[in-house]
C-alpha cells in the first residue's frame, strides 16, 4: 500500500476481540519533501458508527440516553453513566442513515419525521480508524421516556427528555462529556430557531 505521500511497509494484528488492534510500520513524506524514518503505530479498529440527536421542535426538547460505559471508568471520568445521543456501529450492508434510524428505534422507541445530516468526522484520528456519521431527527417527544435497549445485546438504557436549555447547561456542568452529543447539541443551538420556524 504505497501512495506518493506514504508507504505502508507492513501490518499485523496483535489483538482481535470485540474490537481489533492493527500494528503498522510505515513512512510518510514530510512537508519539506523528504521522508520520515520507518515508524510503528498501533491503530484501534472498531468499525464505523452513526449517531442521531432526537429533537422535538414543537416542545423544544431533546432526547438523550443514559447507559453504563466501562471506558468512562478507565478514563477516570466523574461518572461511568453517560448521557449520549442514540448511536451504534454500522453493520455490513448498512449505510449510516439506516443505522441512525435503527438506533433511534432501538434506543429511544422513536421514528424520525425527518433525518438531517450534520457531520461526518473521525473522533480520534491519532489512534483510531473509526468514522462517525451524525444526524438530527425531528421527532415527537410527547410520550418518550422509560427504559429501552436490545435484550440480545444486553443493553440497559434509560431515556431522558430534556429542554434544550437544560441539555446545554449539562454540557457546561460537565454532565454531558462525549463528543458526539456535544457536537449535535451545539449544532442544534445554532439551528434551533430555523427548525422551530419551519
At residue 11, the pLDDT reads: 97
pLDDT tens for 43-90 read: 999 999 999 999 999 999 999 999 999 899 999 988 889 999 999 999
- Residue 162 and residue 176 in one domain: yes
Do residue 28 and residue 91 come from a single domain?
A: no
Supply the pLDDT for residue 151: 76
Number of domains making up the chain: 2
pLDDT of 128 reads 95
Q: Are strands 132-138 and 49-56 parallel, antiparallel or unpaired?
A: parallel
**pLDDT recorded at residue 3:** 79
Within this chain, do residues 133 and 188 fall inside the same structural domain, yes or no?
yes
Do 122 and 172 fall into the same domain?
Answer: yes
99 is written with which cell numbers? 443505522
Spell out the residues 6+ positions from residue 172 whose beta carbon is closer than 8 angstroms to its own.
none
Lowest mean pLDDT among 72-76, 150-154, 176-180: 150-154
In this predicted structure, what is the pLDDT of residue 2? 61
pLDDT in the model for residue 143: 93
Please say if the pLDDT value at position 148 is more than 90. no
Query: The domain that contains 105 carries what CATH number?
Result: 3.90.79.10
- Tell me, yes or no, whether 114 and 140 share the same domain: yes
Give the per-residue pLDDT at 156.
86
pLDDT tens-digit series, residues 92-128: 999 999 999 999 999 999 999 999 999 999 999 999 9
Same domain, residue pair 31 and 65: no
Q: Please give the full DSSP string across 107-169, using - where no structure is assigned.
A: HH----SEEEEEEEE-S-TTTB---EEEEEEE---TT--EEE--GGGT--EEEEEEEHHHHHH
Q: Which residue stretches of the chain are H helix?
A: 70-74, 96-108, 164-172, 179-197
CA atoms within 13 A on the CB side of 173: 9
Res. 149: pLDDT tops 80: no
Local confidence band at 144 (pLDDT 50, 70, 90 cut-offs): very high
CA trace torsion 15, 19, 24, 28 (10° rounding): -160
Domain span at residue 55 reads: 49-197
Q: What is the pLDDT of residues 4-34, one digit of tens each?
A: 899 999 999 999 998 999 999 999 999 999 9
Burial state string for 69-78 with b = 16 or more CB within 10 A and e = fewer than 16: beebeeeeee
158 and 172 share a domain?
A: yes
Among candidate residues 153, 155, 166, 172, the one labeled active-site is 153
Q: Domain check: are 117 and 189 in the same one?
A: yes
The alpha carbon of 171 is separated from its chain's Cα centroid by a whole number of angstroms, namely: 16
CA–CA separation, 151 and 130 (whole Å)? 25
In this structure, the answer to whether residues 136 and 116 fall within a common structural domain is: yes
Is 175 tagged catalytic? no
Residues 31, 69 within the same domain: no
Q: What is the mean pLDDT of residues 126-131?
A: 95
In a shared domain, residues 29 and 121? no
Q: 31 with 78, same domain?
A: no
Using only C-alpha atoms, the chain has a radius of gyration, in whole angstroms, of 19
Amino acid at each position: 500500500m504505497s501512495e506518493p505521500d506514504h508507504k505502508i511497509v507492513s501490518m499485523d494484528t496483535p489483538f482481535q476481540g470485540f474490537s481489533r488492534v492493527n500494528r503498522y510500520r510505515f513512512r510518510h513524506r514530510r512537508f519539506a519533501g523528504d521522508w520520515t524514518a520507518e515508524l510503528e503505530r498501533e491503530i484501534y479498529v472498531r468499525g464505523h458508527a452513526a449517531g442521531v440527536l432526537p429533537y422535538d421542535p414543537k416542545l423544544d426538547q431533546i432526547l438523550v440516553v443514559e447507559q453504563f460505559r466501562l471506558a468512562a471508568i478507565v478514563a477516570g471520568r466523574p461518572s461511568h453513566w453517560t448521557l449520549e445521543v442514540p448511536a451504534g456501529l454500522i453493520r455490513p450492508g448498512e449505510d449510516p442513515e439506516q443505522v441512525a434510524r435503527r438506533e433511534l428505534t432501538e434506543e429511544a422507541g422513536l421514528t424520525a419525521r425527518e433525518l438531517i445530516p450534520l457531520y461526518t468526522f473521525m473522533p480520534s484520528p491519532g489512534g483510531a480508524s473509526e468514522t462517525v456519521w451524525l444526524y438530527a431527527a425531528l421527532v415527537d417527544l410527547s410520550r418518550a421516556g422509560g427504559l429501552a435497549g436490545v435484550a440480545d445485546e444486553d443493553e440497559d438504557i434509560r431515556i431522558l427528555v430534556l429542554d434544550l436549555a437544560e441539555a446545554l447547561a449539562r454540557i457546561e456542568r460537565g454532565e454531558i462529556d462525549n463528543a458526539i452529543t456535544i457536537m449535535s447539541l451545539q449544532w442544534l443551538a445554532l439551528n434551533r430557531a430555523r427548525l422551530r420556524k419551519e
